[in-house]
Structure 1
């Protein structure tokens, strides 16, 4: 990883106390209700739909080799705990691209309103629980920013609603992105595209 605060998107106080020199972001959207919606959104998320529909091209997607990496788990306060030992059989989409899995590495390329979104990334953790599906991506290199994104689909047991949440923090790496507002503009556009990708309510062309 090319940043120190690995797993910080799981910290409940991310928005108040982001990692040093980084800009935090968080958005949640209701995307439906019921188990069917939860399952379909979860499958879409783990098959890279948010990234692809946001206009990003994936390449060099490599699952972790052997048992060398099992991912990281986090407690309710965002602190890392024992390694995640939840091993599941690797799945693939119709094009043969592996679903999200712990330790996986990949490259993405693309632009958001003229701003670069190229990066080398690693999947830090994956959650597949009865009412929550999600994963965390962190930068390894080759990006205009350094940092992390977490994506979660939650099926709330009190309301039956399904919510999609993205949390992130970005620290500028390239000189241009140190200009005021550049990192926030880039992040705001990415969040909007992720929402359109996962929510049928916003499924309009970009």
Structure 2
């Protein structure tokens, strides 16, 4: 079994026990993330120094004009996929076992939480994951929470403090708990 196979299993929604030997393969990513995040979050860095640290965290080149403001929190760095011109403000938490995809031009406010994992109600050691996808030019307001399996549509806005429990269609503003459409854009 390869580490990438574990992530494919998680991304597909297959329940996986955290004590399964296959899951242990992914733990190296978690250890690496903790090591690199300690540097990012606990030392001062000029803005031009941050991209190389985030490349180390994510395991791939940082995209053009993409910025993540520390502090930043993530469990599996290799499972966050970022587009170009993405801005993530401080105190963002990404639980990425099931993969988070953030497309070009997305803006994420401070203290946003993006979740891909949940635990089985009958066995709390079992993870059940679903991918989160934030489409092009979406804007996620401060302290919003995006739950597992959610897609935020292109050009949509998630109001600050919203809890998104269902997919968000393109070109709308959603808010509340649970989030609902408040306004349609471009009409």
Relative to the length of structure 1, the TM-score reads 0.27
Whose strand proportion is higher, 1 or 2? Answer: 1
More relative contact order, 1 or 2 (CA 8 Å, 6+ apart): 1
